[in-house]
Amino acid sequence: MPAEFPDFRLGGVLATSFTATLTERQGDQVERIPTPQRLVDWLRVNGLAVDSCTNAQLERAYELRESIHAAATAAALGDNLPASAVETINDCSVKGRAAPVLTPEGAREWRLSSPSRVEDALGVIAADAIDILAGERDGRLALCASPTCRAAFFDTSQSRTRKWCDMNTCGNRQKKARFIAKHGKNLRTAK
Ligand SMILES: [Zn+2]
């Protein structure tokens, strides 16, 4: 993978892994799928291999991503879902023509109607978003506690008290900040 592109943040939930291709949304934003090829790479890693992607398809992917982000944020806050976001998610879902198939090993794979149909892959992502937004899966939508992130994530922890979108990034940074704050305080009292 070319080193000039930021790496992917992969999670267990397809729809929120997709919204996490834009991180630090409330800070210095990091675009992790800045080119059509990077979207192709991301889709392959997520079991939705396509052989190409046009600029228009990438634009559509961004539209879907931001619609999922807006709807998931509203759901996490208990607000009404924005109508335009719902429309885009539904449109992507309806236009997708991917089918789940079962491998001989008993795993699920997605089969697209054509390898150039990025729309099919977006349809799978939109359907996943609909599942979590509609409460069809066990879990709770929440917003990351990091003030520069505020990503919507799907909390499947038993206690439903997860605070960060990702323990290895936002969670760690918060812990480090707390440590530094405490360390600084200790230094002051030592004086
Ligand atoms: Zn976060």
pLDDT in single tens digits along all 191 residues of the chain: 555 899 998 888 999 999 999 999 999 999 999 999 999 999 999 999 999 999 999 999 999 999 999 999 999 999 999 999 999 999 999 999 999 999 999 999 999 999 999 999 999 999 999 999 999 999 999 999 999 999 999 999 999 999 999 988 898 877 787 778 877 755 554 44
Identify the CA nearest to 96 among candidates 71, 122, 72. Answer: 122
- Ligand 1 centroid, distance to 89 Cα (angstroms): 23
- Ligand 1 centroid, distance to 118 Cα (angstroms): 27
Residue 44 to residue 134: CA distance in whole angstroms? 26
Q: What is the pLDDT of residue 7?
A: 92
Residue 25 to residue 4: CA distance in whole angstroms? 20
Residue 5 to residue 3: CA distance in whole angstroms? 5
Give the number of other CB atoms < 10 A from CB of residue 189: 6
Residue 81 to residue 71: CA distance in whole angstroms? 5
- Ligand 1 centroid, distance to 13 Cα (angstroms): 15
Please tell me the pTM assigned to this model: 0.90
Is 170:164 a contact under the CB 8 Å cutoff? yes
Q: 52: exposed, middle or buried (C-beta count within 10 Å: 0-12, 13-18, 19+)?
A: exposed
| Complete domains list, the chain, with CATH | 14-141 (1.10.3300.10)
Q: 143: exposed, middle or buried (C-beta count within 10 Å: 0-12, 13-18, 19+)?
A: middle
- Ligand 1 centroid, distance to 104 Cα (angstroms): 37
* Assigned token pair, 191: 């004086």
Identify the CA nearest to 23 among candidates 162, 152, 122, 126. Answer: 152
The pairing of strands 140-143 and 22-23 is unpaired
For 97, the 3-state DSSP assignment is coil
Q: What is the pLDDT of residue 64?
A: 98
- Ligand 1 centroid, distance to 96 Cα (angstroms): 29
Please state the φ and ψ torsions of residue 106, each to the nearest 5 degrees.
Answer: 90, 20
